[in-house]
Amino acid sequence: MFIKRSFQMKKTSEEKETVLKMIKIYCSKKHNSNSELCKECSELRDYCFKRLECCPFGENKGTCGRCEIHCYKAEYREKIKEVMRFSGPRIIIYEPRLALKHLIKGLRHK
């Protein structure tokens, strides 16, 4: 049980790291914030983190974009799509390891 929970926490923290990096890229380029997220992006980050923590699929979770359950409210779903579209190609430059993991995960759960 502990190992399973530990593995789930590791996966969740990796996903949080990826989402955070994408939001940071978006915020720095679109909202000209350098060190900290703006209020809007901070709220999006908090909302995304909460959704990741509450995901019913747990360790078997794929990427949110391919999920059959849409647990995001419409306004946040549109905002995170915008962030992902903008930051997706750029994360390859800033964080190639995270980009590769995210890509593999998406292909695995297709």
Angle at 94 between CA 87 and CA 15, to 5 degrees: 65
Average pLDDT value for residue range 48-62: 84
| pLDDT for 93 beyond 90 | yes
C-alpha dihedral over 28, 32, 37, 38, to 10 degrees?
-150
pLDDT confidence bin for 64, thresholds 50/70/90: confident
Q: What is the pLDDT of residue 45?
A: 98
Distances 69 to 64, 84, 97, 98 between C-alpha atoms, Å: 9, 18, 27, 24
- Asked whether residue 46 carries a pLDDT value surpassing 90, the answer given is yes
Q: What does pLDDT average to over the chain? A: 84
Nearest Cα residue to 44 out of 23, 29, 63, 61: 23
Task: State how far the alpha carbon of 1 is from the alpha carbons of 4, 5, 60, 84, 89, in Å.
Answer: 5, 6, 15, 34, 37
* CA atoms of 110 and 108, how far apart (whole Å): 6
| Residue pair 54/71 in contact by the 8 Å Cβ criterion | yes
Residue type for 87, please? Answer: S
